[in-house]
Structure 1
Amino acid sequence: MEQILNEILSEPQFAEGSAWKRCWYHAGEKIIEKGELGSTLFFVEEGQVRVLGGAEIEGNKKINPGLCDMNAGSVFGDICLYGSHRRTASVVALTDVCILEIRSDMLSIYLDDHPVQGYLFLKAMFQVMVLRLELANDRIEKLLAWGLKAHDIDKYL
């Protein structure tokens, strides 16, 4: 992903300032908020970020568990790759970070105009999403097994 994205970002027709911008965040700063409308995706150039989920437990108590940490070379916010969508998670900087914020509308136009790079980008994005899906499925299975055992339901299966 990093290689093809760097190739795209270095193209003169995909210029910094109009198609993407470089942003810096200090450790602890929120980069995106779950539920807000977004139309950009992000590439971690330097540093580390944490993806936070949101859950409500007994008594309307809200918690924000860390879902995963991402290092330099990672992409997030890809739910907005093709249009504006609500963010599905919050992301905060764990360390001081440099993030590239990429306009999805400009990226879409570029990928349409450059089908080889478009194919390579979407192939890399698909590989990222497959890894995330495998991790999510594994976590769900383990959480389900834990819940069944914790509530003594496993003896009925």
Structure 2
Amino acid sequence: MSHHATTSRISATERVALLKNTALFAETPENVLSSIVPIMKEVAFQEGEQIFAKGDLGTSLFIVQEGEVHIFSGTQQLATFRPGDFFGELALLDAEPRSASAVAHGAVVTFRLDQEDFYDVMEERGEVLRNILRVLCQRLRRQNEKMQLPQ
């Protein structure tokens, strides 16, 4: 993989603002977000680069800072994530291999939150776990709607 950690191009204040605008951290106070920012790693990917593959052991979740990420199962595109969206959380929550592959669509910059840090945040901040559950439910409902056959 040719992805690489980048030297942050945005300030800590801008990172806090980005996190505040994600569904994951929407209810989290700014002072808490300021403590999360240093543990997140900025990682860049090039067009077509695989961020992770279906079946990989999941050890991180990602928040899109710039660009688009497409999620695939085989050749079927399941989802598109844009700035402020997060993905990769399932493998962190259930300790199962990745259920799909993530590929950069154009140049992409993400914030990566690793498993141990993620669990620390969830333990300290109950709203983060509630937000993850809410987003997972929304995604499941959307998938169910897509699967329903026309009447």
TM normalised by structure 2 equals 0.73
Distance in 2 (CA, whole Å) between partners of 1:76 and 1:105 is 17
Deviations 1:63-114 (A, max 9, x none): x1111111111111111334643000001111211111111211212332x2
Q: 2:114 aligns with which of 92, 95, 103?
A: 103
How much has 1:39 moved relative to structure 2?
1.3
How much has 1:2 moved relative to structure 2?
3.8
Distance in 1 (CA, whole Å) between partners of 2:147 and 2:19 is 29
Identity rate, percent: 27
How many residues align? The count is: 127
Pairing 1:38–2:49 present: no
Q: Which runs of 5+ in 2 are unaligned?
A: 1-17
Pairing 1:72–2:83 present: yes
Distance in 2 (CA, whole Å) between partners of 1:69 and 1:78 is 15
Q: 1:121 aligns with which of 87, 110, 128?
A: 128
TM normalised by structure 1 equals 0.71
Distance in 1 (CA, whole Å) between partners of 2:33 and 2:99 is 25
Describe how 1:1-157 pairs up with structure 2 within 5 A.
2-3=19-20, 4=25, 7=30, 8-11=32-35, 14=36, 16=38, 19-54=39-74, 64-82=75-93, 84-112=95-123, 114=124, 118-142=125-149, 145=150
2:15 counterpart residue number: none
CA 1:80–1:9 in 2, change beyond 3 Å: closer, same or farther? farther
Give the superposed CA RMSD.
2.4
Contact 1:80/1:104 (CA < 8 Å) preserved in 2? Answer: no
Q: Which runs of 5+ in 1 are unaligned?
A: 55-63, 147-157
Distance in 2 (CA, whole Å) between partners of 1:132 and 1:83 is 16
Distance in 1 (CA, whole Å) between partners of 2:77 and 2:99 is 13
Deviations 1:47-69 (A, max 9, x none): 11100012xxxxxxxxx111111
